[in-house]
Copies of this chain bind each other. A is one copy, B any other.
Amino acid sequence: MTGAGPVVVINPNSNTRVTELISAELDAFRHPGGPEVECLTMAEGPFGIENRLHVEQVTLPLARLVESRTDASAFVIACYSDPGLEVCRTMTAAPVFGIQEAGILTALARADMFGVLALSEGSAGRQRPNHRRMGVAVRCAGIAGLNISVEQSAEDPATFGKLVTHGSALKAQGAGALILGCAGMARHRKALAAELGLVVIDPTQAAVAMALGAVASDGS
Q: Which residues of chain A have a CB within 8 Å of any CB of chain B?
A: 1, 25-29, 31-34, 51-53, 55-57, 59-60, 63, 84, 86-87, 90-91, 95, 97, 101-102, 105-106, 108-110, 112-113, 124-125, 128-130, 132-139, 174, 176, 189-190, 199, 201-202, 205-206, 208-210, 212-214, 216-220
Question: A208: which B residues are within 8 A, CB to CB?
Answer: 213
Asked if B27 contacts A106 (CB within 8 A), the reply is no
Q: A33-B33, A52-B90, A56-B87 are in contact. Are A27 and B128 (CB under 8 A)?
A: no
Number of copies: 6
- Residue of B whose beta carbon sits closest to that of A89: B52
Asked if B29 contacts A32 (CB within 8 A), the reply is no
- Residue of B whose beta carbon sits closest to that of A130: B133
Asked if B205 contacts A216 (CB within 8 A), the reply is yes
- Residue of B whose beta carbon sits closest to that of A189: B217
The smallest beta-carbon distance between A58 and chain B, in angstroms, is: 11
Asked if B33 contacts A219 (CB within 8 A), the reply is no
The smallest beta-carbon distance between A132 and chain B, in angstroms, is: 5
Question: A87: which B residues are within 8 A, CB to CB?
Answer: 52-53, 55-56
Asked if A136 contacts B133 (CB within 8 A), the reply is no
